Amino acid sequence: MATYPLLFDLPVQKPTTRDIANTVKASGTAGLTDAERRADEARYQEVLCRSALNAVKGMPFNWTLNPYRGCTHGCHYCFARRYHVQFEMNADDEFASFILVKRNFIEVLKRELDRPSWKRELAALGTATDPYQPIEGQYRLTRGTIEALAHARTPAGLVTKGPMVVRDSDVLGELTRAVGCTVYMSVPTVDEEAWRILEPGTAHPLQRLRAVRTLVDAGINAGVLMSPIVPGFSSSRDKLERTMKSIADHGARFVGCNVMHLEQGTRDHFMKFLARGFPSLVPRYQKLYARKYAPDAYRKEVQAMVRVLQRRYGQSKREDAAQTSPPSETAPAPEQVGFAW
Ligand code: SF4
């Protein structure tokens, strides 16, 4: 029998996200034997997605795009931690060290954007993971997503803590010129201690602000989200003022702010993180976060302080900057806060 050299890669069938959840349920993450361990100690599992555009309700946008799940930036307050439990993984270490990579994301997205029924509504990138976490350097799924959006004349907003975003200034510029695009760089604080404690896998805040400057210089509508402000860690007037001044010094086009909220897996993780490293703060947090959001009075106090600083440093406000305030139907009733940080 004749034999022939292989001139093409044999297609290797990737699991779906449901397959992953079933495997982890049966045998834990140890059951994901195909996942690749890289130098950053995180493990990356390629998966196939059925859809790329994800419909959402109650947000300032109707569609989200997340080419990855999990995030090696590992911010302790990250609201997306709770989503990892959908894959039967935990919201603690596994959120930051077990990353799902949607290998076919761009191809699926292009098909969806080509549908005659697609109305070219705003799509939000980076709502459940950081689209510029380090692995993007290899897979370039975010870049491919922006290219596909520009081609399909679909406007976008993108939230990130990754200075790698400047790599894509060219395609972000194309999208801006074609139909509009806003980049929200998340820099909750420039305080080094708070940054090290709360955001262990992220780039230095000033590096992020330099990225904002580069994007603005390239003609992209880029600003900063001081979000979330974490009570007791980044909420003092001095830290807020240093952060606002730095943002202004780097030419951000706008600033949004939000106080941290805690729910489900994120709440559990954050309280464990406090108990481990800052046990004296636990009782105060239990009081401040008796519910999902900090009390109205506390949030208003912080936001008023930020507004004063915005005016002082000539920064415009961005009300639609991804969740500047919690939806009114879920916001807690006004109440007196017994302490101020
Ligand atoms: S960078 Fe964003 S998505 Fe990643 S852990 Fe931090 S808050 Fe979460």
Which tokens in the block code for residue 156? 């976008």
Per the listing, tokens 């439990």 go with 85
pLDDT at residue 318 in the model: 57
Give the tens place of pLDDT for each residue, 51-102. Answer: 999 999 988 899 999 999 999 999 999 999 988 877 778 878 889 999 999 9
Give the tens place of pLDDT for each residue, 110-152. Answer: 999 999 999 999 999 999 999 999 999 999 999 999 999 999 9
> What mean pLDDT, rounded, does the chain reach?
87
DSSP labels, 84-118: GGGGT--SSHHHHHEEEEETTHHHHHHHHHHSTT-
The ligand 1 atom at the shortest distance from the C-alpha of residue 96 is 5
First-residue to last-residue Cα distance in the chain: 79
Q: How far is the CA of 196 from the centre of ligand 1 (A)?
A: 14
Instruction: Return the minimum-mean-pLDDT range out of 89-93, 156-160, 276-280.
Output: 89-93
pLDDT at residue 317 in the model: 63
Which residue puts its alpha carbon closest to atom 7 of ligand 1? 78
The pick from 66, 72, 73, 269 for probing ligand 1's pocket by mutation, whose C-beta has the most ligand atoms within 8 angstroms, reads: 73
Which residue puts its alpha carbon closest to atom 2 of ligand 1? 130
Helix, strand or coil, per DSSP, at residue 63: strand
Q: Using a 6 Å CB cutoff, which residues line ligand 1?
A: 71, 73-75, 78, 80, 129-130, 161
Average pLDDT on 233-256 reads: 96
Strands (E), the chain: 36-37, 43-47, 54-55, 63-65, 68-69, 98-102, 123-125, 156-160, 181-186, 221-229, 255-259
